[in-house]
Amino acid sequence: MIEINTEFKNIFESHCHYDDGQFDCDRDELLSEMLSSGSVKRLLHASTDEKSSLFGIEYAKKYPQFYTSVGFHPECIDSLPENYAEILESLLSQSAKVVAVGEIGLDYHYEGYDREKQAEVFSRQIEFANAHTLPVIIHSRDATSDTLEILRKLKPRGVVHCFSGSYETAKEMLSLGLYIGFTGALTFKNAKKAVHALEAVPIDRLLLETDCPYMAPDGYRGKRCDSRMIYRIAQKVSELKGIPAQEVIDRTAENASRLFSIPL
Ligand SMILES: [Zn+2]
């Protein structure tokens, strides 16, 4: 576990993957440390399939600050069980700390995943979320126009996570009532597009996330990412929006609390 000394407190990590094998060596030590020190106040685990949803439910029982989503990521489309809708129902019934459906969406980055099936599974999971008045965590990669078409039609509440779109796309997502999540990628030297997109996002619609263990922010590049590093994203937002970094952390925590109905 790397040492991180910051004065920042109350981070709301809105998207993380602590089920990843990179955390096998020190998962509980790391989570206990960051949650007991107060540097991270709340965590939302983003599920990608049934196994990862079950991990989220298990950890939500273990740590009061740990919340989870349930859902099937578009990259799991090839191994998607036929009865996935029933599985979602059953997962949801297992814990009151399931606060979102995700991550769900469209991923056109890799060839070979059936796009029609992705759209069908994405739509069906949004309908499931809407029926249960839950927000969604949206994954959209190289698929902006098709994602927007589905979102316009089905109008979920939710967040577009790891936002990588343009200023104009951010505006469109905001006009649908959605929140926008930024990762450590915002801090990268070549992040011109993300920096411009952030200009479109008012502070009351912004969420901070790591998507850890991936995408460690500037200052930690090449290291395993964890939720404590969110303060680097807050510092970047602070620089760009002229709001103190601790206030960015506090305001984005309020946003996440509102969206996911999680008390702070
Ligand atoms: Zn993710």
The closest alpha carbon to 143, from 101, 93, 107, 91, belongs to: 107
What digits encode the pLDDT tens for the residues 48-61? 999 999 999 999 99
Beta bridge partner(s), residue 11 = 40
The closest alpha carbon to 44, from 104, 108, 103, 117, belongs to: 103
109 in any annotated domain: yes
6 in any annotated domain: no
Q: Give the confidence band of 184 by pLDDT, cuts at 50, 70, 90.
A: very high
**pTM, two decimal places:** 0.97
The closest alpha carbon to 99, from 184, 183, 157, belongs to: 157
Q: Can you give the C-alpha Rg of the chain in angstroms?
A: 17
CA of 161 to the centre of ligand 1 (A): 8
What CATH code is carried by the domain that includes residue 128?
3.20.20.140
CA of 87 to the centre of ligand 1 (A): 20
Give me the domain span that covers residue 193. Answer: 11-260
CA of 69 to the centre of ligand 1 (A): 11
What the block records as the tokens of 189 is: 């030297």
Residue with tokens 């109008």: 155
44 in any annotated domain: yes
Q: How many angstroms separate the CA atoms of 61 and 199, rounded? A: 38
CA of 139 to the centre of ligand 1 (A): 8
225 in any annotated domain: yes
What digits encode the pLDDT tens for the residues 123-155? 999 999 999 999 999 999 999 999 999 999 999
What digits encode the pLDDT tens for the residues 4-45? 878 899 999 999 999 999 999 999 999 999 999 999 999 999
- Contact call for residues 100 and 137 (beta carbons, < 8 A): yes
3 in any annotated domain: no
Section 188-205 average pLDDT: 97
What digits encode the pLDDT tens for the residues 54-93? 999 999 999 999 999 999 999 999 999 999 999 999 999 9
Q: Give the confidence band of 117 by pLDDT, cuts at 50, 70, 90.
A: very high
Q: How many domains does the chain have?
A: 1
pLDDT (0 to 100) of residue 179: 98
5 in any annotated domain: no
Q: Give the confidence band of 110 by pLDDT, cuts at 50, 70, 90.
A: confident
CA of 97 to the centre of ligand 1 (A): 18
